[in-house]
Chains A and B, each alone.
Chain A
């Protein structure tokens, strides 16, 4: 079993898992909740095995490096981070509905990695700029942060959906969602978590840049967009202390913030030029 096969299977498991979570939410079938969790955990294990196998394969090829070096590998790791984080959240909050708003992100990431013709799943050797111990630290911190923001975007959407619940029908679709206050609290906590990792990601990137190029900050588009993202989430954290900036605006910020994350991660590589060009292959 090689890594490509394992990661292909992962894509299908995440699709299946997304369908179960969405089905659970839309058709209000609580009974399949356990199945959803089990399938997701299996998906996570296969995903982990796939990443581990790919790591091993790179050593067998004599160009050993952590599988975090191009767009394909980062999308796979992004999916892994989202699911890991979501599973932890499910256990902490004992709420499976969030899965319907979180696991599809992981599926989308895997599907994009496997289906998009522009990314190859070939294992390539590391170019000199990436040959550093900072590679793992930088990519790991960034993607844990990105994953948190993906889940926060999911709960933000959940909040806006729930807002339309006028409480008219006690067994309506939206009544299965947790109360607004709870969703808001979850979103806030996930943003706090993501913010620390994003900060760590930006900082590790700065330290790395300084050890490779002699400049910790050069206003390169990727750096700048990560800072823009940081500002957006910083505003979400401060909005709580401002009157009239309650749940609804923070839910919107969590969505806008995630769009900024996507642009930082993906858009910059293709639309803007800069130092951070390794990701484009």
Chain B
């Protein structure tokens, strides 16, 4: 490929531009960490004054990471990555695919490490023996007759030269994933009370209702505490309902969301209400019903001829413990008044038999909703980046040549090697290989 060596191309291919991008992106990013992002316009007016707020508005500082200039910087960075990779790849491709058996003997004579040997054995025998020794040592060679001699060549991991470009490509793949997410993804949230069904959520940007395409029912929310009073677990029991059918049931916690049809539901917050679920069971008939009761209001269960209400309460403490004072009448005899201790079951004897009571505080669970088809590209990009970095930093392209030729009826060997990285490590590998050749009794090598 002929390189288009104009200054424009060179500018976009340059490492200097990469350095410029790193520094400007780093410095610009700092701004967004110091100035709070995505606050209301009035916030900036109050905190920074009219003039600053106006400058912020012009430069889109309140939403800096999505501003035209920050996105332009990221684009410049991407162009830099693409152009420099296109610029350098042909050379690297040549290095990886090159015919190393065509390497000039003169070049081998200048390589480090290299060593020369002589052998009393005829050339053909030496070639066969060296080939065998290299193969045994894990350097299976290819061969070619050259300039009256034979050149053997073996290499390891030539493809690692692409490592750096895998890293460059990985960044572009991550950006592609981010763009896919922005274009086709959705982010939102919804607060749902227990035992309610929602067919929609609120979009994070527009605050508009967006249909889910199915129904989500919140069966229960529970909150547990450690002895210290710190929250231990937020748990929501969810059911997905589609066309009237319950299709999926899952209890989610903060690090374990629910996935359905591309949407993911995350436990994110909750709200406690001053209302209580009260379940009453007639222990004779087994009839049972749950009511939502607000303190001070009367509840009637007509079918059972029962009236009840919360007449007093002790608000939940920091472990979520509360007490309810219940007033209850089934129309027979004096009404019962008793305390319900949190969620413990209480049985009350009446003239006609016993009634059981259980209470639970009403909560709403706050769910984050995300749909991001760009996540997989991003994850693939991240994996590529780590693999690419390991390849680029720790693996090297190692090459070994043995040129066997005849000089005044004596067989001579030239052993040369090269590695593109970690030369120290390679030299000890090369030394081991040379030792194996020297130890070979058939070859009877002597240093020249």
- Whole-angstrom distance between the alpha carbons of A195 and B394 in the complex? 12
Q: B30 — which chain A residues lie within 8 A by C-beta?
A: 224, 228
Q: A195 — which chain B residues lie within 8 A by C-beta?
A: 389, 393
Q: Does any Cβ of B come within 8 Å of A270's Cβ?
A: no
A98 to chain B, nearest CB (A): 18
- Whether the pair A235, B368 counts as a contact (CB closer than 8 A) is no
- Whether the pair B15, A224 counts as a contact (CB closer than 8 A) is no
Q: Does any Cβ of A come within 8 Å of B178's Cβ?
A: yes
Q: Does any Cβ of B come within 8 Å of A241's Cβ?
A: yes
Interface residues of A in 185-235 (CB under 8 A from B): 192-193, 195-196, 199-200, 203, 206-207, 210-217, 219, 221, 224-225, 227-228, 231-232, 234-235
With A228-B29, A238-B22, A242-B19 in contact, do A125 and B226 touch (Cβ < 8 Å)?
A: yes
Which of A63, A128, A192, A245 is the one whose CB lies under 8 Å from B234? A128
Q: B37 — which chain A residues lie within 8 A by C-beta?
A: 219
Q: B266 — which chain A residues lie within 8 A by C-beta?
A: 212-214
- Whether the pair A231, B26 counts as a contact (CB closer than 8 A) is yes
- Whether the pair B15, A242 counts as a contact (CB closer than 8 A) is yes
A64 to chain B, nearest CB (A): 13
Closest A residue to B268 by CB, please name it: A213
Interface residues of B in 229-243 (CB under 8 A from A): 230-234
With A196-B390, A196-B393, A203-B385 in contact, do A242 and B255 touch (Cβ < 8 Å)?
A: no
- Whether the pair B29, A224 counts as a contact (CB closer than 8 A) is yes
Q: Does any Cβ of B come within 8 Å of A129's Cβ?
A: yes
- Whether the pair A231, B22 counts as a contact (CB closer than 8 A) is yes
A91 to chain B, nearest CB (A): 15
Binds A, one of B51-59, B278-286, B337-345, B374-382: B374-382
Q: Does any Cβ of B come within 8 Å of A95's Cβ?
A: no
A233 to chain B, nearest CB (A): 9
Closest A residue to B368 by CB, please name it: A214
- Whether the pair A268, B33 counts as a contact (CB closer than 8 A) is yes
- Proximity bits, B9-37, A CB within 8 Å = 1, else 0: 00000011011001101100110111011
- Whole-angstrom distance between the alpha carbons of A270 and B390 in the complex? 34
- Whether the pair B393, A192 counts as a contact (CB closer than 8 A) is yes
Give the size category of B's interface with A: 35 or more
- Whether the pair A212, B29 counts as a contact (CB closer than 8 A) is no
Q: B22 — which chain A residues lie within 8 A by C-beta?
A: 231-232, 234-235, 238
- Whether the pair B228, A124 counts as a contact (CB closer than 8 A) is yes
Closest B residue to A210 by CB, please name it: B375
Q: Does any Cβ of A come within 8 Å of B419's Cβ?
A: no
- Proximity bits, A133-164, B CB within 8 Å = 1, else 0: 01000000000000000000000000000000
Q: B264 — which chain A residues lie within 8 A by C-beta?
A: 214
Q: A134 — which chain B residues lie within 8 A by C-beta?
A: 255
- Whether the pair A203, B386 counts as a contact (CB closer than 8 A) is yes
With A125-B230, A234-B22, A242-B16 in contact, do A196 and B386 touch (Cβ < 8 Å)?
A: yes
- Whole-angstrom distance between the alpha carbons of A181 and B386 in the complex? 28
- Whether the pair A131, B254 counts as a contact (CB closer than 8 A) is yes
B202 to chain A, nearest CB (A): 14
With A203-B385, A231-B26 in contact, do A212 and B254 touch (Cβ < 8 Å)?
A: yes
- Whether the pair A231, B393 counts as a contact (CB closer than 8 A) is no
Which of A199, A211, A239 is the one whose CB lies under 8 Å from B389? A199
A263 to chain B, nearest CB (A): 9
- Whether the pair A132, B257 counts as a contact (CB closer than 8 A) is no
14 A-B residue pairs with CB within 8 Å = A124-B228, A128-B233, A128-B253, A196-B393, A212-B254, A214-B370, A215-B187, A219-B32, A221-B33, A225-B29, A228-B29, A231-B23, A235-B19, A235-B23
Q: Which residues of A contact B (CB under 8 A)?
A: 63, 124-125, 127-129, 131-132, 134, 192-193, 195-196, 199-200, 203, 206-207, 210-217, 219, 221, 224-225, 227-228, 231-232, 234-235, 238-239, 241-242, 245, 268, 272-273
Excluding A124-B228, A212-B266, 9 further A-B contacts by CB distance (< 8 Å) are A125-B228, A128-B233, A131-B233, A196-B390, A199-B385, A206-B382, A214-B369, A235-B22, A238-B15
